[in-house]
Amino acid sequence: MLAGLSEDSVTVDASMSTTHIQFAYDRLIKSGKEITPGQIDSFFDVAASKCMLELVKDMMDRFRPVPTITQFLDHCLPPKPDHPDVDK
């Protein structure tokens, strides 16, 4: 956990809380360092998987990532019509 607090740490994954993901993204933006395409893809994929719509919108405006068909199928379409996440 403490390793995630270092200045150079900017990796996120779906096991992290939305609060931590938002914190890491905000810290990365405020750092003024160049953000790599890999970091953008990582944050975008995790934010989409967690339904973090404000973060996804900010990234779309700021970085213009191109969602893949896999991301669209995984995060925008429910697995089946009666899935509990259908309303999200």
- pLDDT above 50: residue 53: yes
What's the predicted TM-score (pTM) here? 0.78
Query: What's the sign of the alpha-carbon dihedral 69, 71, 74, 77?
Result: negative
List b or e across 23-45, with b for residues whose CB sees 16 or more CB atoms inside 10 angstroms: ebbeebeeeeeebeeebbbebbb
Q: What is the pLDDT of residues 33-51, one digit of tens each?
A: 999 999 999 999 999 999 9
- pLDDT above 70: residue 2: no
More confident residue, 37 or 83: 37
The pLDDT value recorded for residue 17 is 96
Please state the rounded mean pLDDT for residues 22-33: 94
